[in-house]
Structure 1
Amino acid sequence: MPNPDFAGKVVLVTGGAQGIGAAICQLFARHAATVVVADLQGELAQATAAALRAQGLQASACQCDLAEPEQAAALVGRVLAQHGRLDVLIHNAAYFPLTAFADIRPPLLQRTLAVNLQALFWLSQAAQAAMRRQGGGRIIATSSVTGPRVAYPGLAHYAASKAGVNGFIRAAALELAADRITVNGVEPGMIRTPAMDNLGDADVNAAIARGIPLGRLGEPGDIAAAMLFLASDAAAYITGQTIVVDGGATLPESSAVMP
């Protein structure tokens, strides 16, 4: 793939303050994009944006609770008011406290669906008109192998939301194609982020890594690289798809799935 150039383009990344989101912001900013770091943790988002600016890159920050539909729409409005355009929308924010199925209660399920799935609707609706005026755009979602492909105990709520994300990607891709807006996703496997602490300590993580065909946990940059490709000119004819980035863990022959 030719070295992508995002000069003059504005990229909004939700859940951008840490982990996979921060890696996405870093990579797009390094390729000359103006990056907006959006996160529930406003101070952390500001710190992430400041770190990018300290490297001579272009970044700003917004605090937003995507469980609130009006805040999702307002976030896109703030980006447009500040920068005048929005070229790439990346919905990476997620909510998934490890919880046994029997213990899931309405507030937990409602917030999981609101942040992971419903916000994707409201963000995309708000971005559509601006992208249409610009002659096109890219919508990319961080999905997961959990739900569409495999399941893990304690993540029924999360799995349901991510299966919904994949359904949204396919349907929205059909409807937005006429506006030259592509809709795609990335399905991360086991990625080395603070969220991995939910699954156990270092010994547990090492055992998980041994079961992955490539022999390691993924890094946030692995996901960011797939996002960069989907937003680049090289992926202009790809829409309604997801890329699995899991080191081969969900292959039927993998011991990560079949010990």
Structure 2
Amino acid sequence: MQTLTKTANSIPSLNGKVAIVTGGARGLGAATCQCLATAGLNVVVADLRHELASDLAQEIGASSGSAMALNLDVTSPTSAAALLDQVLDRYGRIDVLINNAGIDVTESVEDLTHDQWQQVINVNLNGPFYMSKAVFPAMRENGGGHIINIVSTAAKRAWANASAYHASKWGLLGFSQALHVEGRPHNIKVTSLIAGGMRTPFLLERFPDIDQTTLQDPANVAETIRYLLMQPPGTVISEMMVLPMKETSWP
């Protein structure tokens, strides 16, 4: 029987690469920033909550990691472009984009306002488009890169009082798959990471009585992101689902 030996060159080094994490100040974003910094990446903590982002960047720096905090409004194409300019000025390159920023409004279709609908769509769907559009040329000129879009089981199933969230995440999954097709000729990998419920403020602040045993540690999902980034150059995982063992929205 033939045995396959994995060479050291088949696993890419993440050391020194530059990653932008949107919504990076807390929750999954913060866990991802910490995980990637530990793996040797230069991490950009991109968030509207600049004070929280700065605190996290300082914490990472104190642990011998490399991080900088930048203000970002993902609903603004101007803000997205300005952030990229700052990253290129500092590092001269961008290798990884994690489109993580997201919001939800728990209301029925009848009670959901037009403004609330637009807000969810702007953050969850327009934001990844603006950010991906901003980084795509820089990644192409750099010979490649990796964009990971944090989707949700809300892109696979539906439940009540989350119509805007479902629409945004189904849309993000479609956008991500289309971007995957466009990126491949330029060595730009694109992954849709479909994450189940996590113990983060996103859920805990809105549902304080939720059974936390049905949720997963965001650090586990962050490790999945690191794993995705470490695939050999000739391989891309275009879609992956990572669920807590007691996931309630999936069999």
TM over 0.5: yes
For these two proteins, the number of residue pairs brought into alignment is 243
Deviation at 1:46, TM superposition (A): 0.5
Q: Deviations over 1:206-232 (max 9, x none)?
A: 5xx4xxxxxx42110121111111212
Task: Give, as a single letter, the amino acid of the residue that structure 1 aligns with 2:183.
Answer: L
Is 1:77–1:126's contact at 8 Å kept on the other side of the alignment? no
Structure 1 residue 235: Cα displacement: 7.0
Q: State the identity %.
A: 34
Matches within 5 A, 1:194-213: 194-198=201-205, 200-202=207-209, 204-206=210-212, 209=213
1:106 aligns with 2:114: yes
CA distance in 2, matches of 1:134, 1:256: 40
Q: Does 1:115 align with 2:113?
A: no
Residue in structure 2 matched with residue 27 of structure 1 by the alignment: 35
1:86 alignment partner in structure 2:
94
The residue that corresponds to 1:162 in the other structure is 169
- Distance in 1 separating the partners of 2:174 and 2:249: 25
CA contact (8 A) 1:249 1:256 kept: no
Aligned AA for 1:151?
Answer: A
Amino acid at match of 1:114: N
Given the alignment of the two structures, is residue 39 of structure 1 paired with residue 37 of structure 2, yes or no? no
Q: Aligned with 1:139: secondary structure?
A: strand
TM-superposition CA deviations, 1:95-133 (whole Å, max 9, x none): 213222211122111121111111211111111111112
Task: Give the deviation of 1:137 after TM superposition.
Answer: 0.3
Q: 1:257 to 1:228 in 2, by over 3 A?
A: closer
Rounded to whole Å, the distance in 1 between the matches of 2:82 and 2:191 is 23
User: Once the two structures are superposed, what CA deviation does each residue of 1:45-68 show, in whole Å capped at 9, x if it has no partner?
Assistant: 111111100111100001111112
Structure 2 residues not aligned, in runs of 5+: 1-5
Q: Does 1:243 align with 2:240?
A: yes
Task: Give the aligned residue type for 2:230.
Answer: S
Show the 5 A alignment for 1:68-83.
68-83=76-91
SS in structure 1 opposite 2:149? strand
2:223 pairs with 205, 213, 225, which one? 225
Tell me which residue corresponds to 2:103: 95
Which range is displaced more, 65-74 or 52-61? Answer: 65-74
> How do 1:174-213 and structure 2 match up within 5 A?
174-198=181-205, 200-202=207-209, 204-206=210-212, 209=213
Task: Tell me how far 1:6 sits from its aligned partner.
Answer: 1.5
Distance in 1, matches of 2:129 and 2:249, equals 33
Q: Secondary structure at the match of 1:32?
A: coil
Larger deviation: 241-250 or 155-164? 241-250
- CA spacing shift, 1:165–1:236, aligned 2, 3 Å: farther
Distance 1:127 1:108 in 2: 28
How far is 1:200 from its partner? 2.7
Q: What is the CA–CA distance in structure 1 between the aligned matches of 2:73 and 2:106, rounded to whole Å?
A: 20
Residues 33-53 of structure 1, C-alpha deviation per residue, up to 9 Å, x if partnerless? 000000110111111111100
Instruction: State the secondary structure of the residue aligned to 1:125.
Output: helix
Deviations 1:128-182 (A, max 9, x none): 1111121110000110001x21223221101110101110111111111111001
Given the two structures, how large is their TM-score scaled by the length of structure 1? Answer: 0.87
Distance apart, 1:4 and its partner CA:
6.2
**Helix, strand or coil: the match of 1:233?**
coil
Alpha-carbon contact 2:157-2:249 (below 8 Å) kept: no
Q: CA RMSD in A?
A: 2.0
